[in-house]
Structures are given as C-alpha cells and as structure tokens.
Amino acid sequence: MQRTSQNPAVRPSTESERAHRATANGGDPTLEFRRVPYDDYVHASTLHGLQRTLSDDPGEMSFLVISQVMELYFGLVDFELGTAQDRLHADDVWGSLLPLRRAALHLEGMNAGWQSLRWMTPGDFNRFRDLLGEGSGFQSAMYRRLEFRLGLKTASLVRPFRHQPDVHARLEAALGSPSVWDEVIGVLARHGHPIPDSVLVRDRTVAHEPHPAVEAAWVEVYREPGPGNHLRMLGEALTEVAEEFGDWRYRHLQAVARSMGARVGTGGSSGLTWLRRSMERPVFAELFSARTVMD
C-alpha cells in the first residue's frame, strides 16, 4: 500500500476555519470549488472509471466490483498487519493490539462482500466466464502478499509475476521477510518462554512448522487471565484475525461451489479441490492446538 506524507491537492483546514465556513453558509454545505476536495482525497472519479466489463451481461458488474473491493481490502489488511508487525518487532505488544483489531474488522467487512455474489448460479457466471480467459483470483499479487504476511509461504507462487519486475520484487521481499507469526514467536522468546533457536532463526521463505515449544508457550500465557497480561490479549487478537481469514477462505470456497461447482478453475487449478487443499494450511497453528491442553 502506497504511503505518502501529504497530498498536495488537499489543503488542510482548522476547526476555526470550518466553523467560519459553516456560519458563512448558514449551515449548508459549501458548493463552489475550483477542485472538489473529496475527489482530490478519495480519487472517487478514478475508482469509478476502473470498472471495464468484458460483456453486456449486467451480472458481470457485480463480479468485477466485488473483486476490486476485495483487492482494496487485501491491501488494507496487509497494511494493518504490517503496522502490527512493526510494533511486535519493537516488543510493543500493547501497541500491536489495535492494528490487529482493525485487521480483524477489515476482514469481517471483506467477508461480507461474498453476500453480494450469492445470486450467481452457474448459468449466471457462464454468461461471461469464458471472456476471463486464464484470469483468476489465484493471480492476485496483493492476496499472495497477504498470505505471506500471515505465514503461508510457498515460493513457487511468486512465479506468475516474474514478468512484472516491481510486483515480483515486492513479493520476493515479502516471501523472505518474517511473517506476523514469526514476530509473535520472537515476542514469546523475549518474554522468557523457551523457544529453540531452530524456530527463531530459520529460512523465512518457507512456512513455519508448528513446534511443541510454541504451543507450550501459549499454554503458559493463557494461565494468567488478569488484565495486565498483554500476551493473552495478543493471543485473542490473533485468534480473531485467524478466524476471520479462515471465514474468508471458506466463503470463497462456498462462492465457487455455488457458481461453478467442481469445474476446473479459469487459472488452470482444480478449482474446489485446490481451495480445499489451501484451507488445510492453518494460520497461527499453535495458538489453536494449545487450546486442547489448556487448563
């Protein structure tokens, strides 16, 4: 997600300036502008110019807009998780809780997007599906980056982007960087939990393998329910993120089953079979396995 310190097209204003305008306008909104400030900030006219359907079928617009909205959500969730990672890396557990909470809420909002596609039967989808060619959500670079951030590392999944040097470079960097879970495990170690060096120092381009020491650390963390136990709060915030992300994956599976059954995916995958296999890779695995042995 692009970060800029300021937008030169947007002129800041103060509380007193806003009060003065409201008085001058008699409480009505300002209607005269050289440039509309809202559009300068949100770029709404740009966003609404990005829906370029490939057919005359009215249902395609729903499919395209929801896909674009989810792309924006992928970037937003990745941004929040990146912010949380920065705080965890600095050992600021308390500071990581709010961005993790926001990430979970954004995932909840993104999940609601599937409701807009519940009308789509195979007949509805097939009216424009062929025009997508080999295009598939599997090829979303931002979703792939979000998966890497969550610890779902698969080096081969960077290959589709090798002819887009900037995108490829960013994904390679994300693949080789610590995940949220890696940072969390580092926090557990710095707080006195005995995590082996083999878990703390490893090849970041491959997924973390669940380890008994990490599970045991979470069992210990949850033994103290008091309000000062920030690690327990961290566990619950991560649980929300994992559950909402799991819900997204499941609702994706449901949407595919509803609209195309077990057909082969447009991107060449086995469709439902591929999605089910992907869902078997858990996020924050020890946080859930530890609950089996918690007091």
Condensed to tens digits (0 to 9), the pLDDT of residues 64-81 reads 999 999 999 999 999 999
Across the chain, mean pLDDT equals: 92
How far out from the chain centre does Cα 37 lie? 29
pLDDT at 284: 97
pLDDT at 89: 98
CATH of domain 57-292: 1.20.58.480
| Binding-site residue ranges | 129, 252, 266
| Domain edges within the chain | 57-292
How far out from the chain centre does Cα 51 lie? 22
CA distance 166 to 14: 39
More confident residue, 275 or 186: 186
User: How many Cβ atoms are within 10 Å of 50's Cβ, its own excluded?
Assistant: 9
Output the six-digit token pair for 70: 């989810």
Task: Give percent of the chain above pLDDT 90.
Answer: 73
Residue 282 has pLDDT above 60, yes or no: yes
pTM for this entry:
0.91
pLDDT at 266: 63
CA distance 47 to 68: 9
pLDDT at 243: 97
pLDDT at 141: 96
End-to-end CA distance of the chain: 41
| Binding-site residue ranges for heme | 252
pLDDT at 52: 95
| Binding-site residue ranges for substrate | 129, 266
Task: Give percent of the chain above pLDDT 70.
Answer: 95
The least confident of 17-31, 82-96, 194-208 is 17-31
Q: How many CA atoms lie within 13 A of 126 on its CB side?
A: 8
- The residue-averaged pLDDT of 26-39 equals 87
